């Protein structure tokens, strides 16, 4: 598949994620251009990243 907003294939995006894993929201913001794009590929891209176990845990925002 392809992300038109970032002009990148899913393979390219997932390889960048594999090399430098980012939490879900950061991955979308950094690798898809979703802030300026349509976002139509996001669900499919996240599903593939989850299937490949490329999404680390979200960082905690509060100290215990």
Could you report the per-residue pLDDT of 16-64, keeping only the tens digit for each?
A: 999 999 999 899 888 887 666 688 889 999 999 999 999 987 654 554 4
At which residue do the structure tokens 């979703």 appear?
34
Please state, in angstroms and rounded to a whole number, the distance separating the CA atoms of residues 16 and 6. Answer: 13
Query: Domain total for the chain?
Result: 1
SS3 64: coil
Answer yes or no: is 59 within a domain: no
For Cα atoms 6, 61, 27, give the angle at the middle one, nearest 5 degrees.
15
Answer yes or no: is 62 within a domain: no
SS3 9: strand
pTM over cut 0.75: yes
Residue-range definition of the domain harbouring residue 46 = 2-51
Answer yes or no: is 63 within a domain: no
């Amino acid at each position: 598949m392809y992300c038109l907003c970032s002009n990148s294939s899913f393979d390219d995006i997932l390889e960048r994620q594999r090399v430098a894993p980012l939490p879900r929201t950061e991955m979308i913001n950094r690798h898809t251009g979703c802030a300026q794009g349509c976002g139509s590929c996001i669900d499919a891209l996240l599903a593939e990243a989850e299937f490949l176990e490329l999404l680390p845990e979200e960082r905690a925002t509060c100290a215990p």
